[in-house]
Amino acid sequence: MVVSIDTNSGFCFGVTRAIQAAESELQKGALCCLGDIVHNGQEVARLELQGLQTIDYDDLRTLPSHSRVLLRAHGEPPATYWIAQQRGIEIIDATCPVVKKLQDRIRACYETHRNDESLPPQIIIYGQPGHAEVIGLQGQTNNTAIVIESVDQLDRIDFSRPIYLFSQTTKSVEGFRALVEKILSVYRNLGIPESRFEYHDTICRSVANRVKELRDFARANDLVIFVGGAKSSNARVLYKNCVEVNPNTIFISSPDEVEDKLSTLNFKLSTLKIGICGATSTPLWLMEQVRDKLSRNP
Ligand code: SF4
């Protein structure tokens, strides 16, 4: 059995930056994080052992003043900053700069067009409803933006009104292109000028560029073990890509799941080339634990 870890997998720049901020701020005293700092339970547990306290929105409203709260890479809507200010809470803003820039673009679009009364605009976000980043993006439009996940949901759009399309940073480039093509074809069929449709590919290339390398990695192995958090949108996208090129791909969130998952497959592991990879929220140390577990139980 040959086991290797994909060198392109692991934390992206934004997540690394947020975790470094948490570790450095924990040296100075008590620190809360609004929501899981990363969609990976094991990494959250590691930081909680260092003292990080994960809180939710209800907790934010009842924290004592002068508490310190870190905002994770996904970013937050304006309402969060307002609540913190009202309660005298100190914000440590670890929003990824790429997400911050996207929030600013969406807010600028909303502010520019919100009073176009003759043809009220629609801001569309191609993203996962309820995802933390998407909630932060919707907040820039006073929650008027429509979130759609696929071309099947285009019936929620009023095509007689101008459309401004943006994407959550971790969605797939192919999915975004398919959406743009579909909207353009509806415009053509209805005879609506295409100038009423503005689209912005705001997918983070730190994720998009990984897809090709990951597919190559999955193809080069007999069996692929994808390690990712169950709540991670990026993990779902990348895992799907692995399965497409190598159906012998299994998804696990923890090294403890390896044995059970492998026992359902009819493989003689000792003869296989096994590749371990993960999402932008998967820590390298977790993939190393999976590798070590396999080496101990060939
Ligand atoms: S995937 Fe890109 S936008 Fe999202 S946190 Fe990572 S670097 Fe930032």
How far apart (Å, rounded) are the C-alpha atoms in residues 48 and 281? 16
Tens-place pLDDT, residues 270-297: 788 999 999 988 999 999 999 999 887 6
Classify residue 58 as exposed, middle or buried by CB count within 10 Å of its CB (0-12, 13-18, 19+): exposed
Active site residue 133: yes
Parent domain of 67 = 13-96
Ligand 1 pocket test, pick from 206, 210, 236, 282 with the greatest ligand atom count within 8 Å of Cβ, gives 206
Instruction: Give phi and psi for 126, each to the nearest 5.
Output: -80, 105
Q: In what order do the strands lie in the sheet with 2-5?
A: 2-5, 273-278, 223-227, 249-252
Model pTM score: 0.86
Domain count, the chain: 3
DSSP string, 166-191: EE-TTS-HHHHHHHHHHHHHHHHHHT
Q: Are 56 and 22 contained in the same domain?
A: yes
Q: What is the mean pLDDT of residues 109-129?
A: 90
Out of 25, 133, 244, 288, which one is annotated catalytic?
A: 133
Distance 204 CA to ligand 1 centre (A): 6
> What is the per-residue pLDDT across 138-176, written as a single tens digit (0 to 9) for each?
999 999 999 999 999 999 999 989 999 999 998 889 899
Q: How far is the CA of 195 from the centre of ligand 1 (A)?
A: 30
Question: Which of 80, 96, 112 delimits the end of a domain?
Answer: 96
Do 32 and 92 fall into the same domain?
A: yes
C-alpha to C-alpha distances, 28 to 23, 77, 144, 217, nearest whole angstrom: 9, 26, 39, 41
d(CA 173, CA 10): 20
**Whether 192 and 222 share a structural domain:** no
Tell me how far apart the alpha carbons of residues 141 and 158 are, in angstroms, rounded to a whole number: 17
Q: In the prediction, which pLDDT does 87 show?
A: 95
Question: Whats the size of the chain, residue-wise?
Answer: 298
287 CB near ligand 1 (under 6 Å): no
CA of 190 relative to ligand 1 center, distance in Å: 37
How far apart CA 231 and CA 12 sit, in angstroms, is 17
Q: Which two tokens stand for residue 38?
A: 């990363």
CA of 120 to the centre of ligand 1 (A): 31
Domain edge (last residue) among 57, 79, 96: 96
Categorize the per-residue pLDDT at 1 as very low, low, confident or very high, splitting at 50, 70 and 90: confident
pLDDT tens figures, 188-204: 999 988 889 999 999 99
pLDDT tens for residues 4-14? 999 999 888 99
Cβ of residue 204 lying under 6 Å from some atom of ligand 1 = yes
73: CATH: 3.40.50.11270
